[in-house]
Structures are given as structure tokens and as C-alpha cells.
């Protein structure tokens, strides 16, 4: 059955969860294990490039003839729906690789221009390269071929705890048996010609009845069983409100350009989790070395398991996600257009070796991916928008003049003329200003942005009869910006090293 078509401008799909109340859990788990073997075979065959740009229904008939459902002890609908879901997973990982390749194409290939100077995208070579990613045609371009190899790796799976079925003749029937509970019936072992054993599971789902395609997932950490099903909801009507620059914080989720803080306390969740994990991890490493030296296998069985570890990580992720999504909803109560920084790259801390390791651990624990996903989803549901800007030096620039003067220390930003500004509010104002900054483009590297800001700072100081050397001596400007850009000061001017006029 094809997925229900929705009006993307008026509706969105969210995932709802039901929890098992009672039922034949052991038999259902056996079906999930069988589906796991099927998943493994699909990934082995299509996890490379065989499914690139090809729809699942065009691949299924050939796969079904070579790997029939009876080989796995599944009925035909479970076999088909599992195949479709796995192909979707494979193509999702391919789409992620495509997104990185497309960014590189935009960075390295410029569009063609007509006589009036307008960009021609429809017939440009850049569009040709991007269109080639829809099929395997990209293999004809050596550079694109290399980029795809860099970002896409052959996939495998070990998932064996899911059953993919659906209503309306897709392997399951759903009946409501009480106000909050539904009975989901799926097929088990074959007991005769076109006859299968019935496996019934009862889930608490509230007042919404599951329809369409859904999954039954067995959580191996907690031992619980969840029913994950889609629910189509109406988007909220937008309210036009002014655009705001938004800084994603480590201690708070957001700070906007008007100084409002959205959901403080994120660092308490993440820092506590990473510090505890680091402490337990060191102790586990000691036990591991003792087990290796002594050959005591009981240590592996009794002291080096991951059940409590995984449960703790799961609880931390749920708490952080709830905090972030609450903050994102409050943010879009205040604005209909959020301007955010592009933080797709890695973040590395600097400083003394011991302090650097601690900061890197905490930075890697930062939920920037969850934050960005929340912004994308909630803005769409509320018919609002968001836009990216270049994130380079937004925390080090004085937002009043857009120059590299001043020093950040914790949550305070000390300006060159003696004022003290909240550091995150200063960064949010820089993000908002950068939206209309024609010099600094989203695709520019850190060093390109640094050069623009250094020259802008030198000109700003020259208007006041000062030089960058004066700013360095007064502690307003970091000399490292000159050394890393390869620039030097000549009077009031900034030029490449070694050049003189």
C-alpha cells in the first residue's frame, strides 16, 4: 500500500508511540528475529550502490523471486514491508552523502551568467553535476565520484528487534478494545495453505487509533515493546513576527538578539552525563585490562555489560530532547523567521592539554544535531522559516560595529571601549547582522571570514586614528588573527606579508 499523500503546505506527519500492555511477546519477538535475518540479507545485497536512485517496488519483484518469504518464515506482507523499509533506510544514508557532495559542488563550481549578469542555474554545469546524483550518472565525473566515495560507505545492519507491518491488508489488523487500548494482530507461523497463526499484542495508545504502516519495536535495553505509528496533523497558522538572530548555547538552548533566554539548564544535563560516563569509562577500562591479564571471563559477563550504560544514555537523550523542543516552541512564539548559525562542522576546544580534553568531551556531548532537527521540524509545523548564516567568529566580534575588537570571558563580552555585554546576546546580534552582510557568505571558510574581519577592523581603527598594533598593545585584538591570515600591518593598512607599495 502506498503511503498516504498529504498536503505538505497544510499538514505534517509525526510519530506516535504505544506501549505494550499484554500479549504473546515471545512469539512476536521470534518474528522480529526472522525479520532481522531478512534485513541483513537486504543490506548485504543493496547496501552499496545497487539501490541508488531506484524505487523499492522496482527492486522487490526480483528480490522476492530469489529470496522468497517462506525462506525466512514470514508471510508475504511482512516480507514486502520489511524490504521497503530497509530500502528507505539505505537511500536515506545515500541522501545524507548527497547533501555533503552538493555543498562541495556549490562551493567549487560557479553558476553561468547571462548578458544582464543574472545567474543561469537551469543550464549550468553545476546543475548538471547535481542532477547526476539522482542516478549513477555521477560515476562519469571523476571528481564527483571521489567525493561520493569520501562521504558514502557501504552499509550493514544488525537490527533484529523490529516488525514492519500495516493496516488495510498490509499484514496487520487493529481493533480498539477499550478507551485507551488497541489490539494489534499479526501473522505468525504458517499452519496450512494460506493460513497463519495469529499473534495478538495489546498496546496503550490513547484515543488515536493506529492506521497505515507502522513498526513494532522490542527495546533490548529496557525489555519494553513499543508501537510506532504515523499521525497526520494540521499545521498551525503562522503569526507574522520580526526576524531574530539566535545563538545556540551550551548552558541554555537559545539566546536571541533581544537578550531572551530559552530554557536554561542544558549544560546540567550534558555535563553531568559526560563527566559520569568518563569516570565510569576509566573504571571499566581498568577492569577490562584486569580481565585480559588474568583471563577471568566472569568480569566480562558481570562487570562489563552495557544495559545500565545504554539505559542511562537513553534517559539523558530523552531529557535533553524534551528541553530542546520546549525551547524551540517558545522561540517560534516570538519570531516567524529564526536566523541561526550553520554548525555542521566539528567543534574543537583550545587550551591546556588537560582542560582541552575536558572541553572537547563536553563539546562533543553538545546536542547541536537535536537542536537543528528541532528547529527544522517545528518551524515547518508552525509555518515559520529559518535561515543559515556563516558561524565563523560570531562569538568574538563586537556586534555594535562588526569588528574583531573585545574579549569574551565566559558569559561576558568586554568591548574595547569598556562596556560589558552578555556574550550570547552579542553572538545572537552578530548572527542577525550577518544575514544582511554582503561580504561574508555562507560558503566562506573560516580563514576567508577572518581576512574580511581583520581588514574591516583595521579600517574601523584608522577612522579613529589608531592601528592594529595599538589594539594589540591595549589587549583589544588578538595577534593570532594576523598570523593565521598571513597579513601584516603597514601603518593604517593591512596587506599580505612581504608586499610593499
Q: Count other C-beta atoms under 10 Å from residue 74's C-beta.
A: 26
The radius of gyration of the chain's CA atoms, rounded to the nearest angstrom, is: 28
Q: pLDDT band at 12, cuts 50/70/90? A: confident
Q: Which is more confident, 30 or 109?
A: 30
Model confidence pLDDT, tens digit, residues 107-125? 888 777 776 667 666 667 8
Per DSSP (E only), the strands in 444-492 are: 487-490
Between CA 313 and CA 274 the distance in angstroms is 10
Element (H, E) at 127: helix 125-132
Arithmetic mean of pLDDT, 32-47: 96
pLDDT of residue 121: 66
Q: Which of 246, 242, 241, 243 is nearest to 259 (CA)?
A: 246
Is 488 a residue whose pLDDT tops 70? Answer: no
Asked if pLDDT for residue 355 goes beyond 80, the answer is no
For residue 328, which phi and psi values (nearest 5 degrees)?
Answer: -65, -40
The pLDDT score that the predictor gives to residue 166 is 92
pLDDT at position 129: 92
Q: What is the pLDDT of residues 424-436, one digit of tens each?
A: 999 999 999 999 9
pLDDT band (50, 70, 90) for residue 301: confident
Question: Which residues, in sequence order, are bridge partners of residue 247?
Answer: 255
CA distance 29 to 74: 13
pLDDT in tens, 218-268: 988 788 999 999 998 888 887 788 899 999 887 888 999 999 999 888 888
Mapping DSSP to helix (H, G, I), strand (E, B) and coil, where does residue 501 land? coil
Q: How confident is the model at residue 269 (pLDDT cuts 50, 70, 90)?
A: confident
Question: Considering the chain, what is the average pLDDT of its residues?
Answer: 87
- pLDDT surpasses 60 at 395: yes
| Distance, first Cα to last Cα, the chain | 73
Residue 497 binned pLDDT confidence (cut-offs 50, 70, 90): low
Distances from the Cα of 251 to the Cα of 110, 219, 319, 401, angstroms? 40, 31, 14, 26
Tens of pLDDT, residues 443-487:
888 889 999 999 999 999 999 999 888 899 988 998 888 887 776
Q: What is the mean pLDDT of residues 274-287?
A: 91
pLDDT at 230: 92
**pLDDT for the residue 2:** 47
Place of cell 593565521: 484
Q: What pLDDT, on the 0 to 100 scale, is given for residue 1?
A: 42
Confidence (pLDDT) at 283: 93
Instruction: Judge whether residue 495 has pLDDT over 70.
Output: no
Average pLDDT over residues 80-105: 94
What is the per-residue pLDDT across 318-332, written as a single tens digit (0 to 9) for each? 898 999 999 999 999
367 pLDDT higher than 90: no
**Residue 111 CB-half CA count within 13 A:** 11
d(CA 160, CA 29): 9
DSSP line for 279-310: HHHHHHHHHHHHHHHHT-HHHHHHTS--HHHH
Whether the full predicted model's pTM is greater than 0.95, yes or no, is no
Q: Are strands 337-341 and 244-248 parallel, antiparallel or unpaired?
A: parallel
Per residue in 45-61, pLDDT (tens digit) is 999 999 999 999 999 99
Q: 230-239, 334-343, 427-436, 489-498: which range is least confident on average?
A: 489-498
3-state secondary structure labels for all residues of 410-428: CCEEECCCCCEEEHHHHHH
Amino acid at each position: 500500500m502506498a503511503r498516504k499523500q498529504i498536503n505538505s503546505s497544510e499538514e505534517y506527519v509525526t510519530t506516535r508511540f504505544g506501549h505494550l500492555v499484554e500479549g504473546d511477546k515471545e512469539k512476536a519477538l521470534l518474528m522480529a528475529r526472522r525479520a532481522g535475518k531478512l534485513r541483513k540479507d537486504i543490506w548485504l545485497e543493496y547496501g552499496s550502490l545497487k539501490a541508488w536512485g531506484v524505487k523499492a517496488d522496482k527492486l522487490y519483484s526480483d528480490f522476492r523471486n530469489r529470496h522468497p518469504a517462506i525462506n525466512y518464515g514470514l508471510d508475504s506482507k511482512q516480507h514486502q514491508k520489511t524490504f521497503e523499509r530497509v530500502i528507505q533506510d539505505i537511500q536515506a544514508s545515500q541522501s545524507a552523502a548527497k547533501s555533503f557532495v552538493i555543498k562541495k559542488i556549490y562551493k567549487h563550481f560557479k553558476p553561468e551568467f547571462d548578458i544582464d549578469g543574472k545567474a543561469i542555474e537551469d543550464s549550468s554545469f553545476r546543475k548538471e553535476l547535481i542532477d547526476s546524483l539522482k542516478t549513477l550518472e555521477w560515476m562519469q565525473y571523476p571528481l564527483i565520484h571521489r567525493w561520493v566515495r569520501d562521504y558514502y560507505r557501504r552499509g550493514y545492519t544488525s537490527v533484529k528487534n523490529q516488525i514492519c507491518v500495516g493496516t488495510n491488508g498490509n499484514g496487520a489488523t487493529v481493533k480498539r478494545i477499550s478507551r485507551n487500548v488497541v489490539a494489534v494482530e499479526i501473522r505468525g507461523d504458517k499452519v496450512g495453505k494460506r493460513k497463519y497463526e495469529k499473534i495478538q499484542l495489546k498496546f496503550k495508545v490513547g484515543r488515536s487509533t493506529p492506521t497505515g504502516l507502522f513498526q513494532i519495536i522490542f527495546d533490548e535495553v529496557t525489555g519494553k515493546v513499543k508501537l510506532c505509528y504515523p499521525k497526520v496533523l494540521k499545521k498551525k497558522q503562522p503569526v507574522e513576527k520580526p526576524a531574530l538572530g539566535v545563538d545556540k548555547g551550551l548552558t541554555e538552548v537559545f539566546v536571541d538578539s533581544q537578550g531572551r533566554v530559552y530554557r536554561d539548564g542544558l549544560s546540567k544535563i550534558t555535563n553531568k552525563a559526560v563527566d559520569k560516563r568518563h569516570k565510569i569509562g576509566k573504571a571499566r577500562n581498568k577492569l577490562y585490562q584486569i580481565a585480559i591479564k588474568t583471563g577471568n571471563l566472569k568480569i566480562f559477563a558481570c562487570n562489563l555489560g552495557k544495559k545500565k550504560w545504554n539505559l542511562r544514555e537513553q534517559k539523558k537523550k530523552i531529557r535533553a530532547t524534551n528541553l530542546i523542543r520546549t525551547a524551540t516552541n517558545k522561540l517560534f512564539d516570538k519570531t516567524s523567521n529564526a536566523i541561526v548559525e550553520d554548525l555542521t562542522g566539528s567543534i574543537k576546544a583550545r587550551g591546556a592539554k588537560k582542560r582541552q580534553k575536558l572541553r572537547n568531551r563536553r563539546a562533543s556531548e553538545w546536542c547541536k544535531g537535536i537542536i537543528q532537527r528541532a528547529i527544522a521540524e517545528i518551524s515547518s509545523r508552525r509555518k515559520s522559516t529559518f535561515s543559515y548564516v556563516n558561524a565563523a567568529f560570531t562569538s568574538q566580534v563586537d556586534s555594535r560595529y562588526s569588528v574583531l575588537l573585545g574579549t569574551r570571558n565566559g558569559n561576558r563580552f568586554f568591548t574595547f571601549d569598556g562596556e560589558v555585554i552578555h556574550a550570547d546576546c552579542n553572538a545572537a546580534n552578530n548572527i542577525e547582522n550577518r544575514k544582511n552582510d554582503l561580504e561574508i557568505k555562507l560558503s566562506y571558510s573560516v580563514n576567508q571570514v577572518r581576512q574580511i574581519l581583520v581588514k574591516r577592523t583595521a579600517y574601523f581603527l584608522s577612522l579613529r586614528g589608531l592601528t592594529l598594533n595599538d589594539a594589540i598593545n591595549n589587549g583589544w585584538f588578538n595577534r593570532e588573527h594576523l598570523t593565521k591570515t598571513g597579513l601584516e600591518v603597514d601603518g593604517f593598512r593591512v596587506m599580505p606579508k612581504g608586499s610593499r607599495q
